[in-house]
Amino acid sequence: MNIASEKFKSVLQLLGNHHSRTDKHVENNSNLVYVCGDYSVIKVLNAIASNAIMNTHLTLAAFCLTTLVACGGGSSESNSTASDTTSNTTTDSQTSSQSGGSATEPSSEQGGSEDPQAGDGGEGEAPEPQNTPPEVVVDITQPEVVKGAPLTLSANVADSEDTTFSYLWRQVSGPEVALGDVTGPTLTVTLPDTYQAAADSYQFSVTVTDPQGADTTTMIDVEASNAMSPNQAAMLLHQGTMGPTLEEVNAATGISETQWLDAQMALPATYHLPLLENYPDRDTPYQINRIDAWWKATLNANDQLRQRVAFALSEILVVSDANNALKGEPEGMLAYYDLLLEHAFGNYRALLEAVTLSPVMGTYLSHLGNEKADPERNIRPDENYAREVMQLFTIGLDMLDQDGSIMQGDNGQPIATYSQQEITGFARVFTGWTFAYSARWDRPSRNYSLPMQAFPAYHSELDKTLLNGEVIPAGVGPEDSMQLALDNLFNHTNVGPFISKQLIQRLITSNPTPQYVERVATVFNDNGSGVRGDLSAVIRAIYLDDEARRYGSVLAYQGKIKEPLLKGVQLWRTLNAHSEAGNYFTWNLDDRYGQGPMLSPSVFNFFRPDHQPAELSEQGLFAPELQIANDAAMIGTLNQQYGDLIWRMAERHDTLNPSAIYLYGQSDISLLKTGGLSALLDRYNLLYFAGNMSQASRDAFIELDQYFANKSAADRVGQLLFMVSLSPEFNVQY
Amino acid sequence: MMNKSRREFLSLCLKGGVSAAALTSLQLQALSGSVEQRSFSDYKALVCVYLYGGNDSMNMLVPLSGEQRSWYEASRQNLAVQEAISLSTASEFEGGVGLHPAMAPLQSYFDQQNLAFVGGVGTLIAPTSLAAYQAKSVPLPQHLFSHNDQQATWMHGQEKQTLNTGWGARLLERLEQGNVFGSNITIDGANPWQTGTNTSAFALSKSGVSKINALSGYEPRVEHVRRVMQTLFSQASHPLASAYASRLSGSIEHTLYMNTLLEQAPTLTTEFGESSLSAQLAAVAKTISIQSQLAAQRQIFFVSMGGFDTHDNQESTHPALLGALANSLGEFQNALTELGVAEQVSTFTMSDFGRTLTSNGDGTDHGWAGNQLVLGGAVKGGDLHGAMMAQRLDGPDDVGGGRLIPAYSNEQYFAPLARWFGLAESELTDLFPNLSNFDAQALSLFKA
């Protein structure tokens, strides 16, 4: 009994993450299966487990491990909590063979026993059998079951009367597996490497028969997860990090996409504000110092997925200190970025509220200090945030279908999501808010980090028209109005497709199929547990979708142009860019990359999600990142990368300037020396192309290197990396 | 000199065994004699100064006296402009026309009749009255009051289409200048105004020159590196990679060519200030100075200024913006005079929209009708063309909160610019599809 319980624990560990599946088993539990004519004892394994560590998981797991007990001589019987029709069939055939054709048809009309509890009730009433059938627990011997790898199942038998048994293994469900020897106490198979992100579910059974002919059939559910190949790992990490390093790709190789995402989401957030440092000789921080903090986290943090998602959010929920007074508020700007990090895997409703109440956003879109109307002076509330929170942060301008396409009205035209009436209503909502801990409305604290505070006397007491005809009645105060208004926005049907599509575009592909958008929007609308806006579920759905993973048919235009800044970030991460002083002071990011963190020229970001470059108009494709790929910016990036990879390659210098940033190519230089060009290009193919380097590109890199063959290894590496950085195949995130 | 450098450049382009896919329009034009290209007897340039965010241009020109002034002060309250400069306009306007005092640097250009204002302009599909607006009996531009949509409408010169093109690019294409390198130049990145079906702008950096470090230095190395680059660019099969490759390939070739020419540009004695707009306009002036080498007879330029979305702190920010604008425009006009092309270059403004007459306490919100300016030796200056709109709350043009229905459509404003540039009268309505709903001759902005 205790042994059995211990076995359960190992099974539970395997099943623990698959509640939905075990739930299904519970539901199906009423489909009881009967064999032989005379039914008696029902050995339900949850009964075995019940006196041990009984908890919900155990109960659920028990239903997965189903024991069918059949009596050899027809005197005793089995029953089952068999979980589905497949096991039904298995039991039938088994019974049929063993009772010499005398098997009774399974009798599903035996009504009372359809109650899953019937087994417990039946136990007392059944006559005690002479020979008890063996008790069987199946073990999975591998610590992790992965696709494409061997799986060994072991039948552990407990039977007080007998010591020798015969075995018969079968596969009940799942992708077809060649079983080999099915008559031993263990079964070893090699699971196929199926081409999908989702785990494969299998069910196997083993029938153990004692010398008296009493047998027990036990089912085991097995889930085989992916083991990512190096290229698959590199592709996922290009999508899910700020730019992967070789160590990160290697660490992700061999585990599944889900395991990588789970591990990343479990990491504590690396916040940026604690990384803010002043210039050595200054008392206060500047914009350059908050950009330094961004680099420190971006380059060195382990929670890369969170950093990437927050970066994507910073290009949707845009604030910027590029050309306004926020330039003087680096702590506040970092606090804003930190709230994106904090809520990256939280709920969009909470994120929306944090963004709305951020004094940085309040300053940027001017709802901080916004007052109720003063009709005498023709003053009405500021409409800036009211407009942009709808147009850019939640619902957009046009009514959307759940797949993100624009709904057509009766006249064939798009249907506007809001009019001036709603703008006026929301503008009234966003009145009466100023800096936290302000002594008075007109004595603001100027604390740019804490959520704003309401002063009811400055809040509009008029009614407020919201979306879908909802109206906040007159006299509702600032906090309640804010909550009602954000609920109203958050629950609009556009939010799911509007936000999901933009996240897909920032993270995975510029041209998602409507089906992909709808699959993710469906998760946004309901994470499976009735929760709307669960970003952790949305992010999982985005990354695990077959379209993102390139399982199934791959679209020719799948993927996106890498953002110029992120190209630079990957090179800096892989080549361990740093200054000896430890800071990353990067001026004029706009000239170098055409973009920078929280440096957008306006709330409309550096590029729009529906930007269609002329080169792609015939194909009807979007490439948002090409909106900033103008001649001057592309040459700027080219020069930046030339400077990084040639001039600032540390190994090319005898002495280093302590405050200057250098890139370190030592690992590549060593590989070139020991393994040659071919080994180095193999590494680059994995690290920079996720395996997509064409032979033609490879040949071009080889041709490049021929010219530099007599130069130092550091020179050769630098020239190769520079050519990699401008090559079209590197510039696509697949 | 110029012919030599152009030849050298083209020969450099062709050395690397460049594939057809990687050839740029410039090279194609050089290789093929069949590219259609109209020849002009003169040189002209249009310079668009885009004021991002929606300039409160109803505060750029303000009434000075009488009922108009009373309405104005009642509507604008603490944002009403005091001590405006009285302009002696050729046409008379009730209440007079006052220029924001921050724009004093432009007064002399107005008085010398090189500067004109165009009043009461905005996006319209057809003439629109308040009653028609309220009854929804007239088609309206999509997404009024939204920044990016209205920017696009101004720059496209038409409502949103399946394939959107800018009216600047269409104008060049109509004049068969679309394939002429150097005819379409931006100092502020890509923008819808200059993007056409087969035309896009060359983006010059503010400093005017972008040296390509990887392609500078020891010639054999440069040639080798360049050849490998071209091989890579011609390999791209992924549609997005291919678009990227043709962009970068074109950027490199065009930049090398422009650098060769710009290195020969004369040094201007006209000084430009520190503002971003001054730097951009200095780069335009420099480019215009080498236009004969470029052999582009028609050029359009795009420069911009941000910060006009004055939802707050308008009292301090807006005068600063107008002041910077006025200074930069004045410098630019001086440089054009120095280059002897003052009458061949016309500079004009566009902006998302005007702003609300009502205040939100310390700023204004997104409005509709606004005022624009046109500067240049060819301009019928010293006047306000169009309407001096009454800044009257709940007046006959107010759709709410002091958002005024434009008296003139922006296509009526664009028509004389295109006409001056050389477009035939019959082609105007092709360029601006809604123009036929209006009087295309209503605004006469240029000297006969």
Q: What was the ipTM of the complex prediction?
A: 0.86
pLDDT reported for residue B197: 85
Q: B358 CB near a chain A CB, below 8 Å?
A: yes
pLDDT reported for residue B36: 61
Inter-chain CB proximity A638 and B393 less than 8 Å: no
Inter-chain CB proximity A635 and B309 less than 8 Å: no
Q: B238 CB near a chain A CB, below 8 Å?
A: yes
CA distance to A7, A10, A19, A728, B235, per residue, from A58 (Å): 11, 11, 11, 53, 57
Inter-chain CB proximity B205 and A384 less than 8 Å: no
The larger pLDDT score, comparing residue A55 to residue B106, is at B106
User: Chain A contacts of B74, Cβ < 8 Å?
Assistant: 378
Run of H or E residues at B348:
strand B345-351
Answer yes or no: is pLDDT of A7 > 50. Answer: no
User: Chain A contacts of B52, Cβ < 8 Å?
Assistant: 601-602
Inter-chain CB proximity B200 and A614 less than 8 Å: yes
User: Chain A contacts of B213, Cβ < 8 Å?
Assistant: 638-639, 642-643
Question: Which residues, 6+ apart, have CB-to-CB distance to A2 below 8 Å?
Answer: A52
Closest to B169 (Cα-Cα) out of B148, B151, B194, B189: B194
Please calculate the CA angle A332-A335-A339 and round it to the nearest 5 degrees: 140
- Work out the minimum CA distance from B7 to partner chain A, whole angstroms: 22
pLDDT bin (cut points 50, 70, 90) of residue A129 is low
User: Chain B contacts of A594, Cβ < 8 Å?
Assistant: 189
CA distance to A151, A244, A292, A681, B228, per residue, from A678 (Å): 36, 21, 36, 5, 18
pLDDT bin (cut points 50, 70, 90) of residue A45 is very low
- Tens digits of residue pLDDT in A267-322: 999 999 999 999 888 999 999 999 999 999 999 999 999 999 999 999 999 999 99
* Candidates A638, A694, A703; nearest CB to B228: A703
CA distance to A638, A669, A725, per residue, from A702 (Å): 21, 16, 15
- Tens digits of residue pLDDT in A434-459: 999 999 999 999 999 999 999 999 99
- Tens digits of residue pLDDT in A672-687: 999 999 999 999 999 9
Question: Which residues, 6+ apart, have CB-to-CB distance to A5 below 8 Å?
Answer: A48, A49, A52, A53
- Sheet containing A150-158: give its strands across: A135-140, A150-158, A186-190
Please calculate the CA angle A212-A216-A221 and round it to the nearest 5 degrees: 160
* Candidates B204, B233, B401; nearest CB to A728: B233
Structure tokens at A629: 């790929």
Q: B20 CB near a chain A CB, below 8 Å?
A: no
Inter-chain CB proximity A379 and B361 less than 8 Å: yes
Q: Phi, psi (5° rounding) for residue B350?
A: -135, 155
Tell how many helices (H) and how many strands (E) occur in chain A: 27, 15
3-state secondary structure A696-732: HHHHHHHHHHHHCCCCCHHHHHHHHHHHHHHCCCCCE
Q: What is the pTM of this model?
A: 0.84
Specify whether the CB–CB gap between A689 and A700 falls below 8 A.
Answer: no
Distance of alpha carbon B375 from alpha carbon A95, whole angstroms: 97
* Candidates A382, A697, A707; nearest CB to B361: A382
User: Chain A contacts of B192, Cβ < 8 Å?
Assistant: none
Q: What is the DSSP letter of B122?
A: E
User: Chain A contacts of B142, Cβ < 8 Å?
Assistant: 414
Mean pLDDT of chain A: 85
DSSP A2-19: HHHHHHHHHHHHHHTT-H
User: Chain A contacts of B189, Cβ < 8 Å?
Assistant: 594, 628, 630, 632-633
Specify whether the CB–CB gap between B347 and B395 falls below 8 A.
Answer: no
Inter-chain CB proximity B145 and A381 less than 8 Å: no
CA distance to A486, B105, B395, per residue, from A314 (Å): 19, 40, 42
Q: B147 CB near a chain A CB, below 8 Å?
A: yes
Structure tokens at A329: 């508020």
Q: B312 CB near a chain A CB, below 8 Å?
A: yes
Answer yes or no: is pLDDT of A12 > 80. Answer: no
Residue of B nearest to A554 (CA): B238
pLDDT reported for residue A62: 33
Specify whether the CB–CB gap between A79 and A119 falls below 8 A.
Answer: yes
Specify whether the CB–CB gap between B316 and B338 falls below 8 A.
Answer: no
* Candidates A381, A642, A731; nearest CB to B244: A731
Closest to B166 (Cα-Cα) out of B155, B150, B176: B155
pLDDT bin (cut points 50, 70, 90) of residue A37 is very low
pLDDT reported for residue A127: 57
Interfacial B residues in 67-126 facing A (CB < 8 Å): 74-78
pLDDT reported for residue A125: 54
Please calculate the CA angle B109-B112-B117 and round it to the nearest 5 degrees: 55
pLDDT reported for residue B295: 85
Handedness of CA A583, A587, A593, A596 (dihedral sign): positive
pLDDT reported for residue B160: 84
Distance of alpha carbon B135 from alpha carbon A639, whole angstroms: 57
User: Chain B contacts of A619, Cβ < 8 Å?
Assistant: 239
* Candidates A323, A382, A557; nearest CB to B307: A323
pLDDT bin (cut points 50, 70, 90) of residue A193 is confident
- Tens digits of residue pLDDT in A385-427: 999 999 999 999 999 999 999 999 988 889 999 999 999 999 9
pLDDT reported for residue A126: 53
